[in-house]
Amino acid sequence: MSPTKKVLILFAHPSSHRSEVNAPLFQASQQVEGVTCVDLYARYPKQRINIDKEQQQLNEHDIIIFMFPLYWYSTPAILKEWQDLVLEHGYAYGSGGNALHGKTFLCAISAGGAKSAYQSEGYNHFTVRELLRPLEQTAYLTGMYYLPPFTLFSARNAVEEHRLQSHIDSWLNVLKALRDDKIDVAAYSNATSLNENLRTFVAND
Amino acid sequence: MTSYFVQACIYLCAAVIAVPIARRLGLGSVLGYLIAGVIIGPITGMVGKETTSIQHFAEFGVVMMLFLVGLELEPKMLWNMRTKLLGLGGLQVGLTAGIITVIALILGQQWSIALTIGLIFSLSSTAIVLQTFSEKGLNKTEGARSAFSVLLFQDIAVIPMLALIPLLALPELTELANHSAHAGEHHGEISLVAGMPGWAHALIVISVVTAVVTGGHFLSRPLFRFVANSGLREMFTAASLMLVIGIAALMSVVGLSPALGTFLAGVVLANSEFRHELESNIEPFKGLLLGLFFITVGAGINFDLLTSKALLITALTLGAILLKALVLYSLTFIFKVVKSDRWLFTLSLAQAGEFGFVLLSYSVQNSVIPTELAQLLSLVVAISMFLTPGLFILFEKIILPRYQASSNEREADSIEEQGTVIIAGIGRFGQIINRLLVANGVNTVVLDHEANQVELLRRINIKSYFGDATRPDLLHTAGIEEAALFIIALDDKERAVELTAHIKHKHPKLRILARAFDRGHGYRLRHAGAHFVVSETYYSALEMGGEALTSLGFHPFRANRQKDTFLETELFHQEELYQTWAEATEDNKFNESYREIFMRLESLLHKAMNDPQDNEAAGSERGWTPPPKNYSDKLE
């Protein structure tokens, strides 16, 4: 079956030679057909982002994914820089700014804390979806469908606890489902995470 | 022969003593020469009749001066100044000349004499005014800029005046001249056009002017390049003189003004790469010849006339100054020169100028003005010039303080013009700097002593000039006094150091950026006074090193960070290494302690670069170090 949706992963890890989770996840993603993988820190070692090139690339894809380790409840710096520069008025929002309308946006992240920490009773007090509200609102303003984040919790111990491989596997399933347009975006409007109901849509296949 | 030496010695002595003293007193060099002339002439009587013949010779200085004026006239600059140049300058010359002519007519002069006097007094003294501006730091004021436009217009206006004056010749004076000097110079001169019909004359004149313009444009460059490639400086001087004298000769032969010819040639060459070199070669000749001319004017001053007609001369002088000032003052209202600038403009240009002397002696030669009147007017011109420093003092001490209090808040809105950057050496290194600066709208003057290189760059529209940047006179003509920055990118290591030391000594306020070849050269440049030194290979080698890391599989972002770490570590030890180098003896600059520090730097570099796997010793790679395993348990 030929891919129906084009997927773009924008990967941001400033220290990828020390990465235990994100680098392998990114590498595995590169094997999936129909998915474009971009390492932003490699493309822009001096953080001089080429706006035209990035916009052109966005135009050519239907699903936009930010892949990053959660740094202080947000993205690494280059992804913020990327948003500030690329999502221009007249391109992504405002009058005539409808280039991203109808695309789908989501984040694939790793978080240091346990899942129990990311809730109102935990020491982080908010769920990851709540913490990433700025990105969610960015998606709404730019006319994109928003999917809840795909998250690996307690990421610092994932390798030791042999949780990484299963995480990668389910991510690859998500990627393929996205590519083949098999995810019902509306079903996730209130979900805190994309991981949870994974079984549902894979089963529906 | 001996008498020539004695005479030359008298003239030079007088100039050498009087000019520096005059300058120190704020009188300017023109007045210095005049004083020198007065001392050796009327006062001590050391020189006598020969002054007249010397004066004819010295007038060639004017021809050279107009060549230099032409060289300064870039079409683009003229176009930018067009309103002020034509409006302000044109009105000043026109109104002043007109009013003075009318007054002279009322005083009973013939109309041709009156007009000549009007023209003579419409001019101001470029030499005194510009020098005073730069000495007093007034160059950037609006008043000085307006004054400059007027002076420039006057300098150009001299040329049509020189052409016009012979037409005003009085028949009775011409006759007198013909009678008294039968074997005079005028008859002895070679003339191609004597006895030709009018149309043939016109044809020859047109073809000669065309020849000067096209020849200047197309032939001068190959010629100068040929001469420049010989590498002999005196040959270039000879070629420059040949050009000016040759054109002057050609013009005389066809009966045109030599000044007009050289002025034209100057304009044609204004865009040439040899402009600054030509300027610096002709400048000393012009300076000396003009100086000689002013000495002869001073020597020719008639003291009997001064004492016998003191009242008349005083009245004329004050009248002329007042009238000129009045015209200037009223022009400031049309051209919106306001407050203290209005007064600066008015007072600075109120005197008559050195061109007045030139036109006077030219008028006498051409039988336009009787000699006695010329002597009288000469005194008026000279005294008005002597009073100029007084007018500047009046401005500084009395007028300026009045405006200072009220103009404080206004000061900020006069936009400071961005200064020029001089780049010495336009090889591989200088070119990149120049391209970056020019692309950012910075004015640059590029100098190189390779004529071929300059030619090559001119073909790709890089405005560059031929000349040896280590020569002070060339630096002067390139405008080092007004430069904002000096960049040294010479290929010759020794000369780069010498040039740095020279600029540091002569222009201590000018910021110097210098390119070094290696560490030792860099230290020497810094020692000589360079404010910023960069080794030519340093950043490119680092760039390639980074690329090597990336090629080996380092993440590009990390490779970039490692380069930065390298730079920082180097920078951190730079000062210590330099001090050790500076303190070491001359013959052993890279001694034991220097090597020791260098080795320490190497080991620190190694440490800084090393990627610490354990989190405890993160070293310089502190950025984005992940927290320890199980760190989150302790947060609960």
Task: Say whether pLDDT at A200 is over 70.
Answer: no
Q: What's the per-residue H, E or C state across B578-589? A: HHHHHHCCHHHC
Task: Say whether pLDDT at A67 is over 70.
Answer: yes
B478 falls in which pLDDT band (50, 70, 90)? confident
What pLDDT is attached to residue B582? 83
Q: Report the chain B residue with the minimal C-alpha distance to residue A125.
A: B636
Substitution target in B539, B542, B551, B555 with the highest count of A β-carbons within 10 Å is: B555
> What pLDDT digit, counting tens, does each position of B235-270 carry?
888 888 888 888 888 888 887 778 778 888 888 888
Q: Would the CB atoms of A123 and B635 count as touching at under 8 Å?
A: yes
Q: Would the CB atoms of B624 and A15 count as touching at under 8 Å?
A: yes
Q: Would the CB atoms of A157 and B625 count as touching at under 8 Å?
A: no
Our CA-based measurement puts residue A154 at a distance from the nearest CA of chain B, in whole angstroms, of 8
Q: What is the mean pLDDT of chain A?
A: 91
Return the closest-CA partner of residue A70 out of A141, A123, A21. A21
Q: Identify whether A1 is part of a domain.
A: no
Task: Say whether pLDDT at A204 is over 60.
Answer: no
Q: Would the CB atoms of A15 and B623 count as touching at under 8 Å?
A: yes
Residue B446 is inside which H or E element, if any? Answer: strand B444-448
**B417-536 and B56-175+232-292+303-401 share a CATH fold:** no
Chain B residues touching A163 at Cβ < 8 A: none
Q: Report the C-alpha gap between B516 and B513 in whole angstroms.
A: 10
C-beta of residue B356 within 8 angstroms of C-beta of residue B123: yes
Q: Report the C-alpha gap between A164 and A144 in whole angstroms.
A: 30
Task: Say whether pLDDT at B189 is over 70.
Answer: no
Q: Report the C-alpha gap between B290 and B127 in whole angstroms.
A: 11
Task: Say whether pLDDT at B532 is over 70.
Answer: yes
Q: What is the CA radius of gyration of chain B?
A: 32
What pLDDT is attached to residue B408? 45
CB pairs under 8 A between A and B: 58
B399 falls in which pLDDT band (50, 70, 90)? confident
Chain A residues touching B565 at Cβ < 8 A: none
CA A61 to chain centre: 14
* Per-residue CA distances from B163 to B167, B216, B233, B363, B366 (Å): 8, 22, 35, 11, 11
The total number of residues written for chain A in this structure: 205
Transcribe B14-80 into DSSP letters. HHHHHHHHHHHTT--HHHHHHHHHHIIIIIT--S-THHHHHHHHHTHHHHHHHHHHHHH--HHHHHH
Above pLDDT 90, what percent of chain A? 82
- Asked if A27 has any chain B CB less than 8 Å from its own CB, the reply is no
- Asked if A117 has any chain B CB less than 8 Å from its own CB, the reply is yes
Which one of A46, A154, A156 has the shortest CB-CB distance to B626? Answer: A156
Domain coverage including residue A34: 7-204
ipTM of the complex: 0.84
Q: Would the CB atoms of A15 and B558 count as touching at under 8 Å?
A: yes
Q: Report the chain A residue with the minimal C-alpha distance to residue B560.
A: A45
Task: Say whether pLDDT at B185 is over 70.
Answer: no
B534 falls in which pLDDT band (50, 70, 90)? very high
Q: Identify whether A139 is part of a domain.
A: yes
Which one of A15, A45, A154 has the shortest CB-CB distance to B559? Answer: A45
Mean pLDDT across the stretch B147-160?
A: 85
Our CA-based measurement puts residue A156 at a distance from the nearest CA of chain B, in whole angstroms, of 6
C-beta of residue B356 within 8 angstroms of C-beta of residue B121: yes
* Per-residue CA distances from A156 to A21, A193, B214, B324, B623 (Å): 8, 19, 81, 88, 17
CB atoms within 10 A of CB B232: 11
What pLDDT is attached to residue A197? 63
Chain A residues touching B631 at Cβ < 8 A: 112, 156
> What pLDDT digit, counting tens, does each position of A29-62 carry?
999 999 999 999 999 999 999 999 999 999 999 9
C-beta of residue B133 within 8 angstroms of C-beta of residue B144: yes
Task: Say whether pLDDT at B156 is over 90.
Answer: no
Assign domain B417-536 one CATH number from 1.10.340.30, 1.20.1260.10, 3.40.50.720, 3.40.50.1010: 3.40.50.720
> Which residues of B make CB contacts under 8 Å with A?
554-560, 611, 621, 623-632, 635-636
Q: Would the CB atoms of B555 and A16 count as touching at under 8 Å?
A: yes
Q: Report the chain A residue with the minimal C-alpha distance to residue B553.
A: A17
Q: Which residues pair with B448 in a beta bridge?
A: B466
Query: Which of B203-207, B220-224, B519-523 has the largest mean confidence?
Result: B519-523
What pLDDT is attached to residue B615? 38
In B400-483, which ranges are continuous DSSP H helix?
400-407, 428-439, 451-459, 472-477
Angle at which helix B142-164 crosses helix B354-365, to 10 degrees, equals 10
What pLDDT is attached to residue A53? 95
- Bridge-based pairing of strands A150-152 and B511-516 is unpaired
Q: Report the C-alpha gap between B161 and B159 in whole angstroms.
A: 5
Above pLDDT 70, what percent of chain B? 91
The two tokens of residue B9 are 């010695």
Chain B residues touching A112 at Cβ < 8 A: 626-627, 631-632
Q: Identify whether A65 is part of a domain.
A: yes
Task: Say whether pLDDT at B273 is over 60.
Answer: yes
Chain B residues touching A156 at Cβ < 8 A: 626-632
Q: Report the C-alpha gap between B448 and B225 in whole angstroms.
A: 13
Which one of B560, B621, B632 has the shortest CB-CB distance to A154? Answer: B632
Mean pLDDT across the stretch B283-312?
A: 83
Task: Say whether pLDDT at B146 is over 90.
Answer: no
- Asked if A16 has any chain B CB less than 8 Å from its own CB, the reply is yes
Where along chain B do its domains lie?
A: 56-175+232-292+303-401, 417-536, 554-612
Residue A15 is inside which H or E element, if any? Answer: none
Task: Say whether pLDDT at B128 is over 80.
Answer: no
Q: Report the C-alpha gap between B364 and B618 in whole angstroms.
A: 91
Q: Report the C-alpha gap between B606 and B180 in whole angstroms.
A: 95
Which one of A14, A45, A156 has the shortest CB-CB distance to B623? Answer: A14
Substitution target in A15, A68, A110 with the highest count of B β-carbons within 10 Å is: A15
> What pLDDT digit, counting tens, does each position of A89-145 carry?
999 999 999 999 999 999 999 999 999 999 999 999 999 999 999 999 999 999 999
Mean pLDDT across the stretch B214-235?
A: 83
Rounded to 5 degrees, φ, ψ at B169 are -55, 140
C-beta of residue B275 within 8 angstroms of C-beta of residue B338: no
The two tokens of residue B254 are 């066809």
C-beta of residue B156 within 8 angstroms of C-beta of residue B81: no
Residue B266 is inside which H or E element, if any? Answer: helix B258-269
B471 three-class SS: coil
CATH architecture of B56-175+232-292+303-401: Up-down Bundle (1.20)
Chain B residues touching A26 at Cβ < 8 A: none
Mean pLDDT across the stretch A133-160?
A: 95
C-beta of residue B582 within 8 angstroms of C-beta of residue B523: yes
Q: Report the chain A residue with the minimal C-alpha distance to residue B556.
A: A42
Transcribe B222-254 into DSSP letters. HHHHHHHHTT-HHHHHHHHHHHHHHHHHHHHHT
Substitution target in A13, A16, A17, A39 with the highest count of B β-carbons within 10 Å is: A17
Q: Identify whether A2 is part of a domain.
A: no
Mean pLDDT across the stretch B548-552?
A: 95
Q: Which CATH number belongs to the domain containing residue A53 in this structure?
A: 3.40.50.360
Our CA-based measurement puts residue A46 at a distance from the nearest CA of chain B, in whole angstroms, of 7
What pLDDT is attached to residue B596? 82
B186 falls in which pLDDT band (50, 70, 90)? very low
Q: Report the C-alpha gap between B286 and B65 in whole angstroms.
A: 6
Return the closest-CA partner of residue B144 out of B422, B315, B320, B347. B347
3-state helix vs strand vs coil in chain A, percent to 5: 40, 15, 45
**Cβ-Cβ contacts under 8 Å for A117 (sequence gap 6 or more):** A123, A124, A153, B632, B635, B636
Q: Which range is least confidently modeled, A190-204, B514-528, B606-620?
A: B606-620
CB atoms within 10 A of CB A109: 24
Chain B residues touching A153 at Cβ < 8 A: none
Residue B407, amino acid:
S
